Amino acid sequence: MKKVILASTSPRRIEIMKMLGIEFEVIGSGFDERTVDLKNPKRLVEALAYEKARLVSEKNPAAIVIGADTIVVLNKRILGKPKDVAEVRRTLRELSGTRHKIITGLAVIDSAGKREFVGSIVSSVKLKNILDKEIESYIATTEPLDRAGSYAVQGVGSMFVEEIKGDFFSIVGLPINILREKLNEFGIKTIV
């Protein structure tokens, strides 16, 4: 069986990968996301996912490499990971009471088989009106400091979520259903 590599050290993506019931390695790509400057959110996450997978694939040409990237989009504006606590406050105040998009890009590269898949999944989340004291309590957990959009739908941030439309695992960071299909197409048998 071919080696499978997840080109991400994200604990959330690693947990989702484990659900597939396959052996895989984790190799962070080290890709500098600031080098990609695209305004279209879908093209951006697809390019980021692809570049992460491509870098790892170049060093592991016999493996199937998976790359992913997730962003939050509010009114056509991309909200990435916050730079600091002040940005967490601003972002959560902006997202409070809104419905916004979560877009995850997925890339699967099999260099040996000369096959690639690149795509993205768009879901939406509606947050409740978040009080300033709730924002401060949430910041104290440190969870929002490393999350696109400054909250985690699968963590403490779930307490702000009123509604989800779309693929939950894509919102978390790795669209497991599409990934399973692609891996099976590339000859990797998953648990189901």
CA–CA dist 28, 49 (Å, integer): 12
CA–CA dist 90, 112 (Å, integer): 46
Q: Which three-class secondary structure state does DSSP give residue 183?
A: helix
* 69 carries an active-site annotation: yes
Which residues, 6 or more positions from 40, have their beta carbon under 8 angstroms from its beta carbon? none
Catalytic choice (69, 110, 132, 146)? 69
pLDDT of residue 33: 84
What count of residues does the chain have? Answer: 192
pTM more than 0.85: yes
Angle between helices 132-140 and 85-95 (to 10 degrees): 140
pLDDT of residue 22: 97
Residue 143 in contact with residue 149, Cβ under 8 Å? no
Which pLDDT band holds residue 47 (cuts at 50, 70, 90)? very high
Whether the per-residue pLDDT at 175 is higher than 90: the answer is yes
Which pLDDT band holds residue 79 (cuts at 50, 70, 90)? very high
